[in-house]
Amino acid sequence: MELQQMRYVVAVAETGSFTRAAGRCFVVQSALSHQVAALERELGVRLFARTSRRVEITAAGEAFLPAARAALESAERAAADAAAAAGEVRGTLRLGVIPTVTALDVPAVLRRLRAAHPRVGASLRMAGSDELVAALRAGELDVAVLGLPDDGVPAGVRHRELARERHVAVVGRDHPLHGRSRVDLARLADEVFADFPTGTPGRAQSDRAFAAAGLRREVAYEGMVTDLLLGLVREGLAVALLPEALVAGREDVVVLRVTRGPSRVQHLAWSSLNPSPAAEAFVRLVDESDATPDGLVGVGRGV
């Protein structure tokens, strides 16, 4: 059994096609198909059921995938560690970010990472903070940018604070609050809200603020996409509480500061168990950005 064979199997499973898998692996389809068939003969099982038009992974293939992925990741990590010992950083940085990241200019830092370490690749995953922390603990991600309530810290991972932010109220231009610069949380309690899904850290920040004030509110619309939430606000269907940096400069909505409003802390988090050379390089670049602001937005700023 060879690593290349496992790489081909993973590619077919993820693309659902021998043709697309061959394109991803930069090999002709006949060679890829031959190697997968050779591996199936060696294992004595069919990893894929195929017809001329369709490919489906079998139960044996599903059982094979987790260990195959782990073997490929271990091989890549071994090569990266050996290169790091010789002074070269390489490998793949698996980065996770929340949809509302504002404290870090992710594309700018990735550009600097590529310039400093050309042999480091990167993959990007967007999800809620809870999912990202779980992925860090499981070894599925190397680094993540999180957003948590101001009294929350990510457990089981290394982390440092990037920024603290207060939320602002966002209303439509035809809303009765248009023209005011500040509003009390109690005034907002009677409004219909658009917010992140129940149970997510992005939602918890606002829920906790209302609970602390002894107030209840109605959240009629839930979503993970900020542009969708803001669209509902723009059309006058709801109001929202969002980090100020997300809505700064928008002309289609009105922004008001909130008395007793919610706040959040953005954290940079990474694996506490043997971080990869690529992860360490990324964290160093973010640390360096504290002194040179290219790549960071509002670090350490209380807004």
Q: Can you give the pLDDT of all 303 residues of the chain as single tens digits?
A: 888 888 889 889 988 889 888 888 888 999 999 999 999 999 999 999 987 778 899 999 899 988 888 887 777 777 667 656 545 676 788 999 998 899 999 999 999 998 988 888 888 999 889 999 999 988 889 999 999 888 778 888 999 999 999 999 999 999 999 889 999 999 999 999 999 999 888 898 899 999 999 999 999 999 988 999 999 999 999 999 999 988 988 899 999 999 988 989 999 999 877 788 888 889 988 988 754 444 444 433 332
| 283-293: b (≥16 Cβ within 10 Å) or e | bebbeebeeee
Query: Residue 117's pLDDT is what?
Result: 87
Query: Residue 149's pLDDT is what?
Result: 84
What residue ranges of the chain are covered by domains with CATH 3.40.190.290?
Answer: 91-303
Query: Residue 46's pLDDT is what?
Result: 92
Paired with 270 in beta bridges are 143, 158
23 phi, psi to nearest 5 deg? -65, -40
CA distance to 44, 46, 64, per residue, from 67 (Å): 17, 16, 6
What residue ranges of the chain are covered by domains with CATH 1.10.10.10?
Answer: 3-85
- The first and second tokens of residue 13, run together, are 């499973």
Its pTM stands at 0.67
Query: Residue 268's pLDDT is what?
Result: 94
- Give the β-pairing of 48-50 and 55-57: antiparallel
CA 192 and chain centroid, separation: 28
Q: Classify domain 3-85 by CATH number.
A: 1.10.10.10
CA atoms of 179 and 256, how far apart (whole Å): 9
Q: Classify domain 91-303 by CATH number.
A: 3.40.190.290
CA atoms of 28 and 177, how far apart (whole Å): 63
